[in-house]
Structure formats: C-alpha cells, structure tokens
Structure 1
C-alpha cells in the first residue's frame, strides 16, 4: 500500500459495526482516520452522523475519492473487491462467490438488523415490560440465526471460505461478540466458534483488537445472556 495514499475516513465507535470494516482496512494496510461515534447511546450521538448519513447510523466509510458508503456488508464486499491483493474475498468468478455473498447478506439482514431494535427497544416497545420482551425475543432470534448459519456453512476449512481470513470471517467475529455474546454463541454455533477463535488470535490483528475491541475480563458473557 502506498504510504502517501489518501486515507479512508471511518465513522463508528470501537466495538460497533465499524469494527469489521476497520479490521479489514488493517489487513489491507490502508490508511484510515477514525471518527468515534456511538449512535446507540443518545440522540445527540446519532445527530453527529447527519452530515454523512441521513439515517444517523454507523458505520460510514468516506472513500479517498470523497464518496460516502454506508451499510456494513456493502462496505466489506466493496473493500474485498477493490483490494484483491489482500485476498479477503473470493473474486466474481470464484466457486465460493455465491455463498460468500449469501452469508454476507444473511449476517447483515438476519442478525445485525436486530440491533437497531435492541439498542433502543423503545423504538417499537411501549413500556419497560414490553422492552424486556423485545430484548428476550430478539436474543432468541439471534441465537436461532447463528444456529442456522452454523448448520449451513461448509465444513473442513479453518475459515468460512477456505484457508484464508475473509471479510466474512471478520464480520461474524465482531457481530458474534454482541449480545447475547460469545458464550451463548459458542453453544449455538460450535463450528463457527472455532473460526472466530482463530480470528481473535490472528497475529496481524493483535494490536488492532487491543486498541479497538479489547478482550477485557468477562467479554465472552454467559450462556443465558439476553
């Protein structure tokens, strides 16, 4: 990567949906400036994203050209395609391309989408009692989706698309750390669990994880987390 290349600008707090994008940029070796905004915390935080995303959601990636991208799966797919030298995604003619796109969309639509409601349950729940139901039921839905993915991905490779870390692996690794968190994920998706542990231990990401999504005591949670 050219050291003089204009940097990307990435909006989103550590541990958020910006994290797999930042991890991918780290593996690519691309320069990136970060703007830490946590839109789940408050209306004021969400409003900080208005200049770059009218949805007030993160991640947002501003490309070196100045073009704005949103939607985590789209950003990751784009990065994989635009930086083939990093070998983070199968090419358009690769036999695994269809399944790669399938699971990228699945994680985004079936699992990641649940957190729009989980982060602020009052968006659809009328009171505290209803919010508790929403949190419990979305936790069950997330676990079910991980189980279905675990049963559907190919066996026999260290990563989801073969012998190399891909943006799909990065995506699953980060999202699997969100509530109901890893202990329950390990139980529900034992094959995926082996993969995410490898990504956790990826030497090229050691400093990145420590800085942007550290493995602090208790980070894996409990099996009953909601």
Structure 2
C-alpha cells in the first residue's frame, strides 16, 4: 500500500483531504517537520510534506505533482480534467500560482524570515513586505472569483482544494485578508466537505 506523509496545518492537508475525497487505499502517516529527528527525513531528503511513497518504493513530492497524480487515479470523480484539454491547463495554472506566488513567494518569508536574512533586525521588514505581497497576490485570485463559485469551469476541482488550504492560513492574519470575501467563501465551502472535515479532524485542526 502507498503511504502519504503529512504534517498538521501544512500544505499537505490538500493531498490528505484528496485521498479521502477519492476513497483511495493510501495509508496516512502524520509526522513532525522542522525537527532533526523526524521520520520524514528518512522518506524525503528535503524533510518536507506532502511525500507519497508508492508501493514500489518510489517517492512523489510537491502538491503540484501529487494533486494531479491522485486525481488521475479516479478520473470519474471529476476533480481534474482530461489530458490535452484547456480546462486541465487552467487547473494546473492555478496550482502553479498558488504554489509559487502565494505559498513559497509570500508565506515562506512571512513565516520564516530567517531564511532570507541572518540579521534579526531585518525580519520585521521582511515580514511586512511579504504580507503586502501576499495581499496583492490574493487580490488577483479574488478578482478572478468575482461572480464565480469555483476557480475553473464552475465546478469543484483540485485547484479549489489547494486554495482552501492556503486560505485557511489567512485566518490569524486579520485585516485586510478578511475582506477577501470570495476567497473566504470558497474556503468555507471546501472545508464543509466531509472528506476535508475528516482530514482536518485527523490533523487536530477541528474538534
């Protein structure tokens, strides 16, 4: 059986919830990250989640790879799109935007400014700039969602699942992120799904 390694509150929540959404026979292993003795280091040399170890022992990482891979295992669920279709490319476009512009481009310096400067005195400035850039990057998503329920083709896809995870990280940030009503509405809709509720509970994020 394949095993998916996840960490509470991490971006791996997207792949975790997708396993339940699709009813896939994949074992879930919860691990710590950013600790030198975590078992994740024996699985993924980068020490990151999500990490999917397939039955043959090969390793897949990164949500931009895992979400499409998992969705393709159950195409009848309709959470991705056919190979060669423009709709598939649009979903991949949003996965890429969320992973690069928002997750790595904004949340990483916001949460871990020490990765960008050894000077502690510069960290508040790095975080302030990251917060500003995060709001600008999310405004692009917010504007796209005007008059829409979902990111692509007016149906729920893996892009919406990933966005809901990123949007969940906005909850402690307050203004001006609470004003992103379309994003927050999408997040709440996705979080209400039984599969996502199951993943949130296993990760200890809801009672």
Q: TM-score, normalised by structure 2?
A: 0.85
- 1:140-167 alpha-carbon deviations (Å, 9 max, x no partner): 21221111122235x5443222454211
How many pairs were matched up?
A: 205
For the 8 Å contact 1:91–1:97, the answer to whether it is kept is yes
Once the two structures are superposed, the pairs formed by residues 59-208 of structure 1 within 5 Å of their partners are 59-113=50-104, 114-153=106-145, 155-179=146-170, 181=172, 183=174, 184-187=176-179, 189-208=180-199
Alpha-carbon displacement from aligned partner over 1:89-109 (angstroms, at most 9, x marks no partner): 122244422221111100001
Match of 2:10 in 1: 16
Query: 2:60 aligns to what SS in structure 1?
Result: strand
- Alpha-carbon distance in 1 for matches of 2:82, 2:114: 42
Query: Gaps (5+ residues) in structure 1?
Result: 1-5, 217-226
With over 3 angstroms needed to count, the CA separation of the structure-2 counterparts of 1:119 and 1:59, relative to structure 1, is farther
- Report if the CA contact (8 A) 1:169-1:195 is conserved: yes
CA 1:182–1:165: 2 relative to 1, 3 Å: farther
SS in structure 2 opposite 1:96?
helix
Over aligned residues, Cα RMSD in angstroms? 2.4
Aligned to 1:224: none
Q: Cα deviation per residue 1:53-83 (whole Å; 9 max; x = unaligned)?
A: 2222221111233221011111112112232
Give the superposition deviation at 1:179.
4.7
Tell me if structure 2 keeps the 8 A contact 1:20–1:174. yes
Q: Distance in 1 between matches of 2:184 and 2:109?
A: 25
Cα 1:196–1:179, aligned 2, differ >3 Å: closer, same or farther?
closer
In the alignment, is the contact (CA less than 8 A) between 2:5 and 2:50 conserved in 1? yes
Higher relative contact order (CA 8 A, sep 6+): 2
Structure 1: distance between partners of 2:171 and 2:188: 17
Contact 1:186–1:193 at 8 Å: present in 2 too? yes
Q: Is the CA contact 1:24–1:76 (under 8 Å) kept in the aligned structure 2? A: yes
More helix by share: 2
Show the counterpart of 1:219.
none
Counterpart secondary structure, 1:104: helix
Normalising by structure 1, we get a TM-score of 0.79
Q: Is the Cα contact below 8 Å between 1:160 and 1:195 reproduced in 2?
A: no
